[in-house]
Amino acid sequence: MSGPATSNGGDPGRDRSGPMLDVSDLAVSFGDQSVVSGVEFSVDRGSLVGLVGPNGAGKTTVLRTVKGTLDPDAGTVRVDGEPIHRKSAKEVSRLVASTPQGTALSFDFSVRQTVEMGRTPHLGRFDRMDESDRNAVETAMERASVTQFADRPFTSLSGGERQRVLLARALAQETPALLLDEPTASLDINHAVRTLELVRALVDDGKTAVAAIHDLNLAARYCDELVLLAGGGVRAAGRPADVLTSDTLRDAFDAETLVTTQPGTDAPLVTPLAEQESVARRVHVVGTGTPAAAAVSKLVGAGCRVSIGVVPAGDTAAERAADLDCEAVTVPAFAGIDDAARQRAADLAAAADAVVIAGETGDGNSAVIEAGSPRLAVETDESAYTSNGHDTVPLAALPAAVASLPSAAEPDATPPLNQSTTD
């Protein structure tokens, strides 16, 4: 895995060219039950890597082994070049800090006392904290935005606030590596985003972090790279866009998904699909914007072969079609529809089993709409053709409505669909 190389503490004479974390051929079992085997990945300095996968895939087991609380049956774990399973618990705690999956504490400590626990690896049995320790605690609380809670009981805080306090405790350890086990578990979307924004900021400042994250879309948005665990091993590793593909997710989760792009980013957006029979129909979509993009996604997810056009280049619907490898007949924005684009789109409409109208279509697409039949309009205030004599259906019912139509199009009646066409 590649990423920025940033110093994160430890011995100043140590070689900084290698990865911060290196897991090699890791195998862990509980009794006769193998949990993970042959797990290998590395984490570069100053990067955030997410462990993702189905329940029971071994994400927590890997994290517990990396932080030294589980001994592997085979393989090695190195943090900042140091093999951790040859070290004492205190030595490991100076290399790796972690936050647990739950946020419960056995005793009702104050927030400050909770964060002060992070200094334990740096203190002797009878040592008291000195000024440097107190500064580390104050800095950690400030960085995690929990200073205002310093004197409050930990148990009086919300789940999201507790998660930030536990993150502050980990920061107070001043370790080169940070491990987070489901840091967004049981949090609402606001606190989940705030937590990962904080982790992302720490990484951007040079910290190295590994997080087990249940939500694939949050993992894709915030992580530099992902390691997908399933069946006791690594199924895929690399950039989120390379890991979170429909084929890979089908293999790991035994689920059908639709993978597009999160708005405003290049991160993948994973949408799970309900089990349903494939709708083997060709459909041509006419429209623009979010309604047309949603129609394209819905139809592709149902198994349809979809084309769209004519649509302005750069429109949300055109980008969605490109994400899903659908043929899009496009023209430059604000340029109007030329004859060649109109004819190509009309040919696709004529060869389709149905024409679906979604969102604004523009006057120039009238001939495209009329070239195909039957026609279905998705219910939306933006569709100029909704009340023009066409059958209307809600978006959720669109695949079923298309499936009820006879399949009239010959498979080879037109050039292959699902190829990008730009005029």
pLDDT of res. 381:
58
Interacting residues of 18 by C-beta distance below 8 A, sequence separation 6+:
81
Other CB atoms closer than 10 Å to residue 178's CB: what's the count?
Answer: 23
Read off the pLDDT band of 12 (50, 70, 90).
Answer: very low
pLDDT of residue 126: 78
Q: Which CATH class is domain 21-254?
A: alpha beta
pLDDT surpassing 60 at residue 243: yes
From the CB of residue 345, how many other CB atoms can be counted at a distance below 10 Å? 32
CA atoms of 362 and 296, how far apart (whole Å)? 18
Quick check: 7 pLDDT over 70?
no
d(CA 4, CA 298): 38
How far is the CA of 25 from the CAs of 7, 77, 231, 235, in angstroms? 26, 9, 15, 14
Residue 335 has pLDDT above 90, yes or no: no
DSSP labels for 316-343? HHHHHHHHTT-EEEEE-TTS---HHHHH
pLDDT number for residue 276: 63
Q: How far apart are CA 383 and CA 291, in angstroms?
A: 9
- The per-residue pLDDT for 150 is 96
Phi, psi of 163 (to 5 degrees): -60, -40
pLDDT at 277: 64
How does pLDDT run across 201-222, given as a tens digit for each residue?
999 999 999 999 999 999 999 9
What are the pLDDT digits (tens) for 66-78? 999 999 999 999 9
Q: What percent of the chain has pLDDT over 90?
A: 67
Per-residue pLDDT, 303? 87
Residue range 360-401, pLDDT digits in tens: 998 889 999 999 989 999 986 554 444 455 788 999 899 999
State the average pLDDT over residues 44-66: 95
Domain topology for 282-422: Rossmann fold (3.40.50)
Rounded CA gap, 101 and 197, in Å? 18
pLDDT digits (tens, 9 = 90+) for 80-116: 999 999 899 999 999 999 998 877 777 789 999 999 9
Q: Is the pLDDT of residue 79 over 80?
A: yes
pLDDT of the residue at 269: 93
Question: 86: buried, middle or exposed (CB in 10 Å: 19+, 13-18, 0-12)?
Answer: exposed
pTM given for the model: 0.75
CATH 3.40.50.300 in the chain, residue ranges: 21-254
**pLDDT at 251 exceeding the cut of 50:** yes
Tens-digit pLDDT profile for residues 262-304: 988 899 999 888 766 677 899 999 999 999 999 999 999 888 9
